[in-house]
Amino acid sequence: MIGGKLQRPSGKVELMRAWQVHELGEPIDVLRVEHNVAIPQPGPGEISIDVAACALNFPDALLCRGQYQERPPLPFTPGLEVSGTIRALGQGSEARGLQIGQRVAAQPTLASGLGGLAEVTIAPMANVHPVPDSLDDAAAAALLVIYQTGWSALTRRANLRPGETLLVHAGAGGVGSAAIQLGKALGATVIATAGGPAKVAVCRTLGADVAIDYQAEDFVARVNELTDGRGADVVYDPVGGDIFDRSTKCVAWEGRIVIIGFTGGRIAQSATNHVLIKNYSVIGLHWGNYRQHEPDAVDRWHTELMDLHQRGAIVPYVSEVVDFHQVPQRLVAITNRATTGKVVVRVRD
């Protein structure tokens, strides 16, 4: 059996259910539950996981549409992050010190076509991290991508310092919610923006010092007013487009705008003359690529994040735990801006 590949059942194979995409399109149209998917065996350096929970992400919808930076071969199973227990260790993966039955959080690789929306998934050993019992399955799945993204962006890329002002856009969303908590943990004053009063209230609950409804008021004027005209030292931007353009009007001297994503749909262009005149930086962050370039850093960040969690400084905001059959509908809600925090799928009852 080939590690991680989806296979048609033949002879005596164990079967599982998994969401699959057979052709690209809107999640609601192209996602299908298959009940006869062969349970894969881990290949060398891989670990198979009995999935308890899979956290949904905006990119799951992009994957269904074929608009994500990774394009797994069809048919594929989406799902970027899971929690569960180790089912089997592939050859060599015992070197990581993990054991069968251990609770872990993991990132399946999409290259194999098998993501986390399946009863069993496969991950390279470097993508599997132990989790403490203080995290339940939903929280363990939710404390991976968005927190690693926020931690690497704020500590490594933006070098956020205590006492600085952090502006987090889309603060009630997945990556935004984590960034608010991480900004506070790092000793920053956190200003969050979000669309609508309910989301603004979520930002405040998450710990934002100030939350601005950027659909109702001009966040640029508010940020400049709140910082006595200085602007925000670090801007955390998962939205892009107009939000990026306008952020350049309220970034501080020597400020840093960290590009996280483009949920707004338009990829903004940076005016380099403006970058020079106002003396700020526009910084990219592609967290997933640290797995390739510096896997030790991801392990170190995981340890630091678990420590922050144990100290109560970060608590994943899981707004919904939903059943397996609700995946397409919840992905539609994510793309329609109708969710907050993390939506987590209960994969096994």
Ligand X SMILES: NC(=O)c1ccc[n+]([C@@H]2O[C@H](COP(=O)([O-])OP(=O)(O)OC[C@H]3O[C@@H](n4cnc5c(N)ncnc54)[C@H](OP(=O)(O)O)[C@@H]3O)[C@@H](O)[C@H]2O)c1
**Which residues contact ligand X by CB under 6 A?**
57-59, 145, 149, 170, 172-176, 194-195, 199, 238-239, 260-265, 285-288, 334-335, 337
58-65 vs 327-335: helix crossing angle, rounded to 10 = 100
Question: Is residue 326 classed exposed, middle or buried when 0-12, 13-18 and 19+ CB atoms within 10 A define those classes?
Answer: middle
> Can you read off the two tokens belonging to residue 234?
């670090």
Judged by beta carbon, residue 43 or residue 176, the one nearer ligand X is 176
Smallest gap, in angstroms, from Cβ of residue 148 to ligand X? 8
Residue 333 CB, shortest distance to ligand X, in Å, is: 9
Q: Cβ of residue 198: shortest distance to ligand X, in angstroms?
A: 10
Dihedral sign for Cα atoms in the order 105, 106, 107, 112: negative
> Minimal distance in Å, beta carbon 82 to ligand X?
15
Nearer to ligand X, 37 or 334 (CB): 334
- Nearest residue (CB) to ligand X, 42 versus 176: 176
Residue 10 has which token pair? Answer: 């033949």
Strand-pairing partners, residue 105, are: 83, 129
Q: How far is the CB of 246 from ligand X (least distance, A)?
A: 13
User: 247: which 2 tokens?
Assistant: 């952020």
- Which CB, 87 or 302, lies closer to ligand X? 302
Question: Smallest gap, in angstroms, from Cβ of residue 59 to ligand X?
Answer: 5
Rounded CA-CA distance 51/81 in Å is 10
Phi, psi of 206 (to 5 degrees): -75, -10
Least distance in angstroms from the C-beta of 234 to ligand X: 15
162: alpha, beta or left? (left if phi > 0; alpha if psi -120 to 50): beta
Q: Which is nearer to ligand X, 104 or 258 (CB)?
A: 258
Determine the Cα–Cα distance for residues 330 and 325; give it in Å rounded to an integer. 10
Q: Which of residues 80 and 135 has its CB atom nearest to ligand X in the complex? A: 80
Total number of residues shown for the chain: 349
**Sign of the dihedral through C-alpha 93, 99, 104, 108:** positive
Helix count and strand count (H, E) for the chain: 12, 15
Q: Which of 41, 335 has the CB closer to ligand X?
A: 335
